[in-house]
Structure 1
Amino acid sequence: MIKIAIDAMGGDYAPQAIVEGVELARDASHNDVEYILFGDQRKIEPLVKSMQNLRIVHAPEVIEMDDEPVRAVKKKKQASLVLAARAVRAGEADLLLSAGNTGALMVAGLLIIGRMKGIERPGLIVTLPVIQNDQGFTMIDAGANADAKVENVIQYARLGKIYSQQVRNQANPRIGLINNGTEADKGDVAHRKMYEALSALGEAGELNFIGNVEARDLLNNVTDVAVTDGFTGNAALKGIEGSALTVVNMIKDSIKQGGLREKLGGLLLKPALKRIAKKMDYTRYGGSVLLGLKAPVIKTHGNSNAKTIFYALQNAEEVATSDLVAGIATQFHAKQQQD
């Protein structure tokens, strides 16, 4: 049985959106999954329609969005996030999911669940849509480490490859380095060094490195894994999400505010617009997975609604059934022995 520890008090709409999303995921799941909700039992119980495959663990404290991460994790020992992380560390759950304070989730992952041997800095990997297909692409790091070194980015490329192989079933994923141009000599000193190191791994046959990729091309299926530092990755992620929402809203507003011709055109285009909106809906692609810990940790948006939680839990099931952690441990152990 898969056991998912859930921070039921994390997020702008917790615990209601969390409980609703959990019940949607439970009712749609084809796997044997137990959803363990950590949070204020008095607030959670009235929201639950059925306790089938659900369990509530009372947590009297909450880590708020504006709490300082390290201090909150250390001081609030009975917080929902902290107790959920402890359950994962103790083997009582397979992975952790939260829509709460991102920094606190990372601290809990590092200090409580623990970093995997051989991983210097865990990275956030997120799946995003592309125009050509429904599979999308992944990006790592999406915001865990703003000041990443060259060696960190090399590890992200390896982590991204393993994730794509084991979770996304891509045999030989294309690895691209996000840069301000596709030429080999583009970027600052750090990015040119990243390019050289990744090129060497490509020539050695370890990675399918395709070179530099520009952020403007990411939605055009230019790569399967976009590798970058956390600062660039988070900026690109927010730019993509914001642009997608803006374009969809602009089309809707133009139709609503237009005359008869625009409204008739909108009516004719409605099926196509729905398909575009669905493809560009980033919430459908699950949460960000913090790779490099002894158990998977999944972060979803703080403003997650029930639908977002539902998709994040579907992604959590895929990660849990993929044996991802064992795959990372095996390959990084082998790499350490080679070095």
Structure 2
Amino acid sequence: MGTAPRIAIDAMGGDTGPDVMLAGAALALARRDDLRFLLFGDEAAVRPVLDRHDSLARVSEIVHCPDVISGDDRPSQAIRRAKTTSMGRAIAAVKEGDAQAAVSGGNTGALMAMAKLALRTMPGIHRPALAALLPTLGDNDVVMLDLGANPDCATDNLVQFAVMGAAYARVVLELERPRVQLLNIGTEELKGTDELKAAAAILRASDHLHMRFEGFVEGDKLSRGDVDVIVTDGFSGNIALKSLEGTARFVTDLLRRAFTSSVRSKIGFLISRPATELLRHHLDPNNHNGAVFLGLNGLVVKSHGSATDKGVANAIRVAARMVREDITRKITEDLANVSARAAEGEAA
């Protein structure tokens, strides 16, 4: 809890490189001054930007990396260049203990491939999962996983995702016993695949965990705020995520078109501006930026490539909070409880 997190930043990641990544780090530092940073990237590009942020420069060290992973690089290509790229070196810093977490806005597939190879999965975890916070109408955001790392999932994968998602919700949402549900085509117990029904049975029997399993949730209820953790396979999760993002853009674009269609509409916009600003803030992806690879022997956070400095700062905040709250220990303890309960059931 008292650890001053040291965060490895892939300074060359993201659409705009060092400018936004370092501005985000500076903003995160202004909000919480116990942060420390390792900045990985081309020193000729990173140094001039760092010199514009005096406070950040005092708590940061630049590690020169001559190579950068592009958005077009395949994961197999990225792995071969891990030792020379800013992304690969940032992950290696976590593996070697020089940093407690890594943040990158670069190529998602490359980041996942290199993180899995370098850090490996935690004992008891078969596959890592990509988790993120999504906005809701409730009092807090909802954690959703997996969002694309594992298109096909077995029963034990879904159970492990539930455990990891609940631990993450306990940290970032400050919930003692998060409400957990499995994404399904209906809420009835007989609906869904065999894997979903088997996972539900295991989670219903796991009332000793720090979660409340509440069955199934349908796709139209994802943003209602009635659940804290939504668990699914990466195929369905990625489609759901892109659908939610597309709907958010559709609504904002539709409002923009409606409010500029006539003089009367423009007057209506001025009158309703406080409400539309609230909507814009709620749907702004920068306020929810920071997808996490859960289940690895080290913490890696993926920032949106198009994130602003506010978005990058939020991703860093997520990483630092997981370090302070020791999320890896929480996941390990809950998995051990699941295994122990399963062993008791087999013995009985």
Shorter-chain TM-score: what band?
Answer: over 0.9
CA distance in 1, matches of 2:195, 2:124: 22
Q: Which moved more, 1:35-44 or 1:328-337?
A: 328-337
Q: What SS does the aligned partner of 1:201 have?
A: coil
1:78-227 alignment runs, 5 A limit: 78-133=84-139, 135-201=140-206, 207-227=211-231
Confirm or deny that 1:33 pairs with 2:35.
yes
> Structure 1 counterpart of 2:287, which letter?
R
Confirm or deny that 1:72 pairs with 2:78.
yes
CA distance in 1, matches of 2:80, 2:253: 42
How far did residue 307 of structure 1 move? 2.3
Partner of 1:7: 10
Confirm or deny that 1:311 pairs with 2:314.
yes
Partner of 1:248: 252
Q: CA RMSD in A?
A: 1.8
> Structure 2 counterpart of 1:166, which letter?
V
Q: Is the 8 A contact 1:167 1:324 kept in 2?
A: no
How far did residue 254 of structure 1 move? 0.9
How far did residue 22 of structure 1 move? 1.4
Match of 2:333 among 330, 334, 339: 330
How far did residue 120 of structure 1 move? 0.6
CA distance in 2, matches of 1:154, 1:296: 20
Q: For residues 270-329 of structure 1, what are the alpha-carbon distances to aligned partners after superposition, in whole Å with 9 as ceiling and x for unaligned?
A: 001111111122321231111111111101112223221121112222212111112222
CA distance in 2, matches of 1:215, 1:270: 30
Q: For residues 231-282 of structure 1, what are the alpha-carbon distances to aligned partners after superposition, in whole Å with 9 as ceiling and x for unaligned?
A: 111111111112112201210121012x232112111110011111111223
Tell me the TM-score normalized by structure 2: 0.91
Q: Is the 8 A contact 1:159 1:328 kept in 2?
A: yes
> Structure 1 counterpart of 2:325, which letter?
S
Q: What SS does the aligned partner of 1:251 have?
A: helix
Q: Is the 8 A contact 1:123 1:156 kept in 2?
A: yes
CA distance in 2, matches of 1:182, 1:205: 22
Partner of 2:346: none
Q: Is the 8 A contact 1:26 1:53 kept in 2?
A: no
> Structure 2 counterpart of 1:225, which letter?
V
CA distance in 1, matches of 2:111, 2:336: 26
How far did residue 183 of structure 1 move? 1.8
CA distance in 1, matches of 2:332, 2:49: 39
How far did residue 189 of structure 1 move? 3.6
Gaps of 5+ in 2: 344-348
CA distance in 1, matches of 2:200, 2:326: 30
Q: Is the 8 A contact 2:172 2:318 kept in 1?
A: no
CA distance in 1, matches of 2:63, 2:81: 19
Q: Is the 8 A contact 1:126 1:287 kept in 2?
A: yes
Identity %: 35
Q: What SS does the aligned partner of 1:37 have?
A: strand
CA distance in 2, matches of 1:333, 1:196: 18
CA distance in 2, matches of 1:206, 1:328: 10
CA distance in 1, matches of 2:252, 2:172: 30
Q: Is the 8 A contact 1:125 1:142 kept in 2?
A: yes
Q: For residues 216-243 of structure 1, what are the alpha-carbon distances to aligned partners after superposition, in whole Å with 9 as ceiling and x for unaligned?
A: 1111112110010011111111111121
Closer, same or farther in 2 for the Cα pair 1:330/1:201, shift >3 Å?
Answer: closer
Partner of 1:298: 301
Closer, same or farther in 2 for the Cα pair 1:336/1:213, shift >3 Å?
Answer: closer
CA distance in 2, matches of 1:337, 1:161: 18
